[in-house]
């Protein structure tokens, strides 16, 4: 996809993620919105995947360790054709294949079950290790929340991945500066988290997580750096482009009304129209 297409894909992922939680009228809105552009870049351009064969051995892997943002992932998977878009309406309802937190046993295209924060760090590392051991050259992508890096397991993994020189592991931190109870700086400050990973032996960059070209460039640069795992700290806005969420302090998990949902869809359609009209 070109830049314009990726931006439109990202807006459509936001719409699909909102649709996914709209039947219940509540969900993890903030973090789903802040990582939507990354989902667009990964599924629209970067990752080698086959929606018709989700377990394809040569695919790139994705571990969304901030597993509560399942709706954003499901939006991307549905739009890519892993399952019908209509199935998004079943999210979080009894018997669904699309639970709030990512579940590899239920959902086509989910590579790892996550939800207990910090754990996707290690499972992604294991997947990257296992792939390398078996002579495969695909990449394992990992998305961590910023609040998630409060977890000690993240730093165990940071040491381990550097020791193992896992250069086909490309991780992202969705640094939207907020966790459930407020600003990360006020709760358990992670400060210059890029520098922390660099000190742990990673190749670490920082970029605008809502700029699809910047994300693509950062991933490309990571792939060209050998011998170290890669961290791309994405500066993002929690609730980005969701009219009832962006700008609200407590937007980690939100309840919303049908009219809020409709207004958000309308605003995203406006965004899409504006992107289409860009020269």
Partner 1 sequence: MYQIEEKIMPEAHEMRAVFAKVMDDMAKNDSRVIYMDCDLMNSIGMAKYWKENPDRAVNCGIQEANMIGAAAGMSATGLIPFTHTFGTFASRRVMDQVFVSAAYAGLNVKIIGSDPGITATLNGGTHMPLEDIGMMRCVPEVTIVEPADSVMLEDLLRKAKDTYGVFYIRLSRKVADKIYKDGSTFEIGKAAKLRDGKDATIFATGICVPEALKAADMLAAEGIEAAVSNMFTIKPIDKEAVIEAAKATGAIVTAENHNIINGLGSAVAEVLAENVCCPMERIGAKDRFGEVGDMNYLKKAMGMTAEDIAEAVKRTIARKEK
Q: How far is the CB of 21 from partner 1 (least distance, A)?
A: 22
Q: How far is the CB of 113 from partner 1 (least distance, A)?
A: 4
Half-sphere exposure of 123 (CA within 13 A, CB side): 21
Q: Is 88 helix (H, G, I), strand (E, B) or coil?
A: helix
Count Cβ atoms below 10 Å from residue 273 Cβ, excluding itself: 11
- Phi and psi at 54, nearest 5°, equal -60, -25
Question: Is 127 among the residues that bind partner 1 (CB under 8 A)?
Answer: yes
Name which of 59 and 240 has its Cβ closer to partner 1.
59
Q: How far is the CB of 160 from partner 1 (least distance, A)?
A: 5
Q: How far is the CB of 155 from partner 1 (least distance, A)?
A: 9
Binding mask of the shown chain, residues 161 to 200, with x at each position contacting partner 1 by CB under 8 A: --xx------------------------------------
Q: How far is the CB of 112 from partner 1 (least distance, A)?
A: 6
Question: Is 160 among the residues that bind partner 1 (CB under 8 A)?
Answer: yes
Q: Is 115 helix (H, G, I), strand (E, B) or coil?
A: coil
The encoded tokens of residue 177 equal: 């500066």
50 beta partners: none
Q: How many angstroms separate the CA atoms of 21 and 243, rounded?
A: 15
145, burial (CB in 10 Å: exposed 0-12, middle 13-18, buried 19+): buried
Name which of 123 and 184 has its Cβ closer to partner 1.
123
Residue range at the interface with partner 1 (CB under 8 A); choices 5-13, 30-38, 105-113, 208-216:
105-113
Question: Is 201 among the residues that bind partner 1 (CB under 8 A)?
Answer: no
- Phi and psi at 201, nearest 5°, equal 95, 15
Q: How many angstroms separate the CA atoms of 111 and 107, rounded?
A: 9
Question: Is 145 among the residues that bind partner 1 (CB under 8 A)?
Answer: no
Q: How many angstroms separate the CA atoms of 33 and 72, rounded?
A: 7
Q: How far is the CB of 157 from partner 1 (least distance, A)?
A: 5
Contacts with partner 1 by CB under 8 A: the residue count is: 32
Name which of 87 and 111 has its Cβ closer to partner 1.
111
Question: Is 125 among the residues that bind partner 1 (CB under 8 A)?
Answer: yes
Question: Is 31 among the residues that bind partner 1 (CB under 8 A)?
Answer: no
């Amino acid at each position: 996809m070109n830049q314009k297409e990726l931006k439109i894909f990202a807006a459509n992922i936001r719409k699909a993620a909102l649709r996914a939680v709209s039947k219940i009228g509540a969900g993890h809105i903030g973090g789903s919105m802040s990582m939507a552009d990354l989902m667009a870049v990964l599924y629209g351009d970067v990752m080698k995947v086959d929606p018709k064969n989700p377990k394809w051995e040569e695919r790139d892997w994705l571990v969304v360790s901030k597993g509560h943002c399942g709706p954003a992932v499901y939006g991307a998977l549905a739009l890519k054709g892993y399952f019908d878009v209509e199935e998004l309406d079943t999210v979080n309802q009894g018997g669904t294949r699309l639970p709030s937190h990512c579940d590899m046993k239920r959902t086509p295209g989910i590579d790892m079950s996550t939800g207990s924060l910090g754990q996707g760090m290690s499972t992604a590392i294991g997947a990257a290790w296992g792939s390398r051991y078996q002579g495969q050259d695909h990449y394992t992508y990992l998305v961590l929340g910023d609040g998630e890096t409060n977890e000690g397991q993240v730093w165990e993994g940071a040491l381990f991945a550097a020791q193992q020189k896992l250069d086909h592991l490309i991780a992202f931190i969705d640094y939207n500066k907020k966790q459930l109870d407020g600003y990360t700086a006020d709760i358990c400050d992670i400060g210059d988290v890029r520098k922390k990973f660099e000190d742990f032996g990673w190749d670490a960059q920082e970029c605008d997580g809502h700029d699809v070209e910047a994300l693509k460039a950062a991933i490309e640069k990571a792939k060209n750096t050998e011998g170290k795992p890669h961290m791309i700290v994405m500066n993002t806005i929690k609730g980005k482009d969701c009219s009832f969420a962006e700008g609200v302090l407590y937007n980690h998990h939100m309840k919303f009304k049908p009219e809020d949902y409709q207004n958000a869809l309308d605003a995203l359609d406006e965004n899409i129209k504006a992107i289409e009209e860009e020269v």
